[in-house]
Chains A and B, each alone.
Chain A
Amino acid sequence: MEERTIIEVDGLVHRYGDFLAVDHISFGVREGEIFSFLGPNGAGKSTAINVLTTLLPIQEGRVVVAGHDVSKNPAKVRESIGIVFQEVTLDRDMTCREILEFHGRLYSMQREERRRRIDELLELVALDHKRDTLTRHLSGGMKRRLEIARGLMTRPRVLFLDEPTIGLDPQTRLKMWDYIKAVNEEGTTIFLTTHYMDEADRLSDRVSIIDHGKIITTGRSYELKNMLGEDLVYLETSDNSATRALLEQLESVTRISEKGHGLVAVVNSDGTRLLPHIMETLGQNGITLETVNLKKPSMDDVFVHFTGKELRDEGAERPVTTAARAGRR
């Protein structure tokens, strides 16, 4: 079955002066899916989203959203989308209801529909008890929820969420994910950016990893993880270099890298079956095994693999670890 594409981006480039913030990216988002941009601070996620939502004029490339070209028909694009910006975009001196009312009017919604929709959405994001509270008196999570509700006022075909859970406590984040999933199940395509691994992993159908303005890879999160092999074996031994030499002879070990005091071996067969064999071989060669760990690749591993650096939740650019480099010999 051919799925319909609702966002098509082809060769998008965006510069701030001489600085290349988005560097020839191309991708497609299918109708009905949750699609994420995962990348560290300054990767170019917001810049890309701002071009897709017509806030920044398109400089180079082609972007079609909901069937409309952003350069030829920005007004139509605007009618078809909802946006939650990275920074809080609320008037502190308006109430929750007024924020939604204003949005409905901006999009020429009829009075009756506005009222119905405001009731529905305040309930969806559990803010009905705050209906007449000024937004200055809302907590960070409530503000975010209100903004999501606003993004949904017009029943957009695509909802853009720029770092929807930034600065929220873990519990609120989980709830927010539930809202986002619920919204998606009602048929809204979701495009979100994040620098949280778990968010990209758990929430989205497909993920693009973006760094330095480039898309490094795109796929379903399990596909991305499978690219790394089936299992990761972590070993700490009395003689790591000898261990390395032994592991390199094994058929199913595709890559070996150093991590902390030990080694990580990427294996493309069932690790539970391979591990006893490895332990036996080490024993035969007089190497003592100090620690052993077997795990499935995580989104973190995927990120390190593709970008050559680790991504922390804060998104700080940390020095390149040896892991991925060593592995690419």
Chain B
Amino acid sequence: MARLGFLTIYWRDMLRFVRFKTVLVSSLVQPALWLAFFGIAMAANFDRLAGSVPTIPGVPVVSYLTYMAAGVIAMTTLFTSLFGGIVLLFDKNWGLMREIMASPLPRNDVIFGIALSGMTKSFIQAGIIMVFGIFIGAEFFLGYSAGQTFISLLGILLFLGIFSLGFLFLSAAISISLESPEGLQGIITLLTMPIFFASNALYPVNAFPPLLQIISGINPLTHLVNGIRFFAIGDDFQSIGIHYTATTGEIALSLCVLAIFAAIMFALAYWRFQKAVVT
């Protein structure tokens, strides 16, 4: 039999995911609520402001809701992924980590198993936000044929997948190195702030000061959002008075940044897991 040990970890994590109905439902409803309240409220503001900005003729205009829906998907994926490794920390303190470490399962399989289940959760959440977003008026896949929509969905999943892997590896690396869930909570808060605000998730970065622009340029979240907008909205549109264009090359570059980020994070997790001693 092929060695698919990571599926054991995956199976168990998904088992827990579907077991807790309240956690499950809230993790699915929460991003939708975000989109609903924040999105609709902000969209009203931004669209009113943008109304005073002259539109560029010949370029499709996209509502702010559509613009930020991509950002909410990305943001939700960021949070879910960063918290994805927390089960390792609980296992270490009160659960099965000792059993896993004493078993013949290679440690990489723990990393991959957790990453895969985290990725699955992100996909489910992203799917829900997308459907809900379209339902409340986000103009995703506007004018796409069925085939184009399908390809675009695959593209979005590719971006989401690689992005979430990177942050799941990071989360696993932090979790296996820490002693308490509170510590992880703190580190995650510390990380999410700059990642979230120095990105193009909710607003354009064009007006950022140069330093913030540089941070935004290497920020994986920015590249994920680029990817999602490219596939869901298009390569040439304007929103809140700013003209967005993207070439295939630029999108490929974004994908590369995400892949490099994921590779570095995997190396980090690998190293932390090799060093980990759980007794």
- A residues near B (Cβ < 8 Å) are 46, 50, 53-57, 75, 78-79, 83, 85, 89-94, 98, 102-103, 105-108, 110, 150
Task: Tell me if B105 is interfacial: C-beta within 8 Å of chain A.
Answer: yes
Closest residue to B278 on the A side, CB-wise?
A: A55
Could you say which residues of chain B place their CB within 8 Å of the CB of A92? 94-95
> Would A78 and B277 be within 8 Å (CB), given that A55-B98, A105-B8, A108-B5 are in contact?
no
A55 and B104 within 8 A (CB): no
- Residue from the list B3, B20, B94, B100 in contact with A108, Cβ < 8 A: B3
Could you say which residues of chain A place their CB within 8 Å of the CB of B96? 89-91, 102
Q: Which positions 18-40 of chain B face chain A at CB distance < 8 Å?
A: 19-20
A57 and B277 within 8 A (CB): yes
A83 and B102 within 8 A (CB): yes
Closest residue to B100 on the A side, CB-wise?
A: A106
CA distance A137 to B279 in the complex (A): 25
Report the tally of A-B residue pairs with Cβ distances under 8 A. Answer: 67
CA distance A328 to B101 in the complex (A): 46
B102 and A55 within 8 A (CB): yes
B17 to chain A, nearest CB (A): 11
Most B C-beta atoms less than 10 A away, residue of A46, A92, A103, A108:
A108
Q: Which positions 101-128 of chain B face chain A at CB distance < 8 Å?
A: 101-105
CA distance A107 to B102 in the complex (A): 10
A108 and B1 within 8 A (CB): yes
Could you say which residues of chain A place their CB within 8 Å of the CB of B15? 94, 98
A89 and B105 within 8 A (CB): no
Q: Which 10 A-B pairs have the closest CB atoms?
A: A105-B8, A106-B103, A78-B104, A89-B98, A91-B95, A50-B279, A79-B104, A55-B279, A106-B105, A75-B104
Could you say which residues of chain A place their CB within 8 Å of the CB of B105? 106
Closest residue to A102 on the B side, CB-wise?
A: B12
Closest residue to A75 on the B side, CB-wise?
A: B104
A113 to chain B, nearest CB (A): 12
CA distance A92 to B104 in the complex (A): 23
The interface size bin for chain B is 20 to 34
> Would A93 and B16 be within 8 Å (CB), given that A106-B5, A107-B104, A108-B3 are in contact?
yes
Task: Tell me if B11 is interfacial: C-beta within 8 Å of chain A.
Answer: yes
A89 and B277 within 8 A (CB): no
B102 and A93 within 8 A (CB): no
A53 and B102 within 8 A (CB): yes
A54 and B102 within 8 A (CB): yes
Q: Which positions 83-100 of chain B face chain A at CB distance < 8 Å?
A: 91, 94-96, 98-100
A112 to chain B, nearest CB (A): 13
B20 and A93 within 8 A (CB): yes
CA distance A50 to B102 in the complex (A): 9
- Residue from the list A83, A89, A94, A108 in contact with B12, Cβ < 8 A: A94
Could you say which residues of chain A place their CB within 8 Å of the CB of B100? 106
Known A78-B104, A108-B1; further 13 A-B contacts with Cβ < 8 A:
A53-B102, A55-B102, A55-B278, A55-B279, A85-B99, A91-B95, A93-B20, A94-B16, A98-B12, A103-B99, A106-B105, A107-B103, A110-B1
Could you say which residues of chain A place their CB within 8 Å of the CB of B1? 108, 110
Could you say which residues of chain A place their CB within 8 Å of the CB of B102? 53-55, 78, 83
CA distance A85 to B91 in the complex (A): 14
Could you say which residues of chain B place their CB within 8 Å of the CB of A150? 99
Could you say which residues of chain A place their CB within 8 Å of the CB of B91? 91
CA distance A83 to B19 in the complex (A): 28
> Would A55 and B103 be within 8 Å (CB), given that A93-B16, A105-B11, A108-B3 are in contact?
no
CA distance A131 to B100 in the complex (A): 22
Could you say which residues of chain B place their CB within 8 Å of the CB of A54? 102
B274 to chain A, nearest CB (A): 11
B99 and A106 within 8 A (CB): yes
CA distance A78 to B8 in the complex (A): 17
CA distance A110 to B1 in the complex (A): 9
A78 and B103 within 8 A (CB): yes
Could you say which residues of chain B place their CB within 8 Å of the CB of A94? 12, 15-16
CA distance A103 to B277 in the complex (A): 20
Closest residue to A47 on the B side, CB-wise?
A: B279
Could you say which residues of chain B place their CB within 8 Å of the CB of A85? 98-99
CA distance A108 to B105 in the complex (A): 9
CA distance A93 to B96 in the complex (A): 11
